[in-house]
Amino acid sequence: MTTKKKDDLLKKSFDLFFTIFENNTIGMIFTDLKTTKFAFVNSAFLTISGYTKEEIIGKKSFEINLIEPMVREENLSQLRKESELRNVEMSIRKKNGETFCALVSAQTVTLEGKNYAVSSFIDISKQKKVEELLRKSNDLFINLFDHNPAAIAISSLKDAKIININAAFLDVFGFTCKEEVIGKTAAELDFLVRPEQRAEMTSFLKENKSVKNYEAAIITSKGESKVVSASALILELNEEPCLFSVTIDITEKHKLEERLRQLATIVDFSDDAIHSKSPDGIIKTWNKGAEKMYGYTFEEVLGKHISLIIPPEYINEEKGNNLRVQNQEIISHYETVRMKRNGEQFYVSLSTSPIKDKLENIVGIAVISRDITERKKAEDSSKLKDAFLSIISHEIRTPLNAIMGFSDILAKRKLGDQEKEYITIIKSAGYDLLKIINDIIDMSKIEAGTMVFEETSISVKELFQSLNEMMTAKAGKKNLSLSFNCSKEVPAILFGDQKRLEQIIISLTNNAIDFTENGTIDVQASVLNKEDKNILIEFSVSDTGTGISLDKIKTIFDRFRQIEPHDKRKQGGVGLGLSIAKRLVELQGGSMTVESELKKGSVFTFSVPYKN
């Protein structure tokens, strides 16, 4: 081959090479190894770097600062030693100062007697971003997996063995370490209370490729009973089909729902009317008690305004109460009037409270209504009775006092024996009638809750001496022995209501005298308990009288109860004395009991707390 042909072939080879070089989609650049100047650059490199050919050719690398100096020198040194670089990741700086990640390869070549480094630059910025996203995604998955509050397990579909679990799985199912679980199947771990549920879930998975919120009862490895909600999904992990399951412990939620169901049942079947309304008065709920009380069904009142059951004259009152509730106030036992479906008005006692959301915002008002019509009637009746008793006691006492006063005057005059007897009978009957009136008034006060107790100084010893002098004569008429004994442990001075103590002892002692034909009456006082300045004094009145049968003891303290039938009674009174005495003791925080045996006698014991 002639020299000319060789030259032509060489020229064509160069032309072909540079055509490929110029049109390559990979950025390429020739660097003169002797001068380190850029000799050739293709369009792809200009595109990714942002430079023009004139700004590159003839310049050295450090002049345009494409690569960090230290990195450039390291790679250039390696290239000179090994004649090539393969797939080195470098940060390339563009003309505008931005950088991008490039995969750089270089090789030394000789052209026309000169040594060059041919470098290729592949922009892998997008690939690096994808890799970074994948890395972050993987990190996120690992974090979500490891720190998720739900129990997560990954199982192989091939053999159903568990590949991985998170920490929450250990907590929910009662294990201490992963080694107890990994490598086993769910069937081997055997959590389900109802094993047939495993077949149900498997069948559902095959049909739908996933399961959502499947509830099941389990027994943990520690023997605890729980209720869980399981969801599962089939997905690929490292090109292997796996089952990804998430289990949430809903035991407390399940218990709460059960309590709510029970509460709803209680509310629904409560005799009280229970309903809720929005802050602006729109009815939201309505139980069966409300249906019965007001005559409207739930369907009839739902969405209606509460004014449906409120008489017009009470609307402003209702508005005021609503404002109080919306200001966080709870209203208890507020008495007012409501209206039934038929227009009938009746008394109710209302208790209302705010309904709040999680942010403590008031979203509604709960109302409990109780029909107190009968109670109001009873109260009105009681008021009438009190007024009647007050008037009657005054009207009877006035002439009675006159009768007894004139009896005292007549008794001081010279009278025959028969007249004196008449005067004595009149005075005795008058005192008996006055006692009955006082008993009725006391019982009325007790029932109305208006009985008042005073705190004065009490000397039990002196009180006993006074009562002994007062009552010895009555006991003497029946040849009975009466004694009052106060223990030395009883303090000289107590603080309480002396008048009521005296009334109780007199009532019990008179009762003992009346029902004792022979023998003794013994009244005693002793200390039952003492703590700081509080002291509990026990009093007892015992007799050797007729005694009380067991069937009578059960009702002995009832109002208007008498030991003997009316037609056989030897003693007067209306059967209020013992009832009043017991109630007076209880109202002071004490108690009264009786022990008795027919034909042997009775012991009435009561204790009252006092201040020392």
Give the per-residue pLDDT at 566. 42
**Which band of pLDDT confidence, cut at 50, 70 and 90, is reported for residue 335?**
very high
Give the per-residue pLDDT at 8. 65
Nearest to 487 by CA among 545, 529, 526: 526
Count of other CB atoms within 10 angstroms of residue 14: 13
Q: What is the pLDDT of residues 112-133, one digit of tens each?
A: 788 888 999 999 888 888 888 8
For residue 375, the one-letter residue type is R
Q: What is the pLDDT of residues 162-178, one digit of tens each?
A: 999 999 999 999 999 99
Residues 513, 602: Cα–Cα separation, whole Å: 11
For residue 144, the one-letter residue type is L
* pLDDT, averaged across the chain: 86
Count of other CB atoms within 10 angstroms of residue 330: 11
Q: What is the pLDDT of residues 2-52, one digit of tens each?
A: 666 665 665 676 677 778 888 888 999 999 988 889 999 999 999 999 999
Task: Name which residue leads in pLDDT, 538 or 398.
Answer: 538
Give the per-residue pLDDT at 260. 73
**Assigned token pair, 587:** 């109202």
Residue with tokens 């959502």: 212
Give the per-residue pLDDT at 1. 57
Residues 550, 555: Cα–Cα separation, whole Å: 10
Give the per-residue pLDDT at 9. 65
Count of other CB atoms within 10 angstroms of residue 541: 25
pTM to 2 decimal places: 0.42
Task: Name which residue leads in pLDDT, 334 or 239.
Answer: 334
Model confidence at 508: pLDDT above 60: yes
Stretch among 9-23, 99-113, 328-342 having the lowest mean pLDDT: 9-23
Q: Indicate left, alpha or beta for 572 from its phi (over 0: left) and psi (-120 to 50: alpha).
A: beta
**How would you list the strands of the sheet with 27-32, edge to edge?**
38-41, 27-32, 114-123, 99-111, 84-93
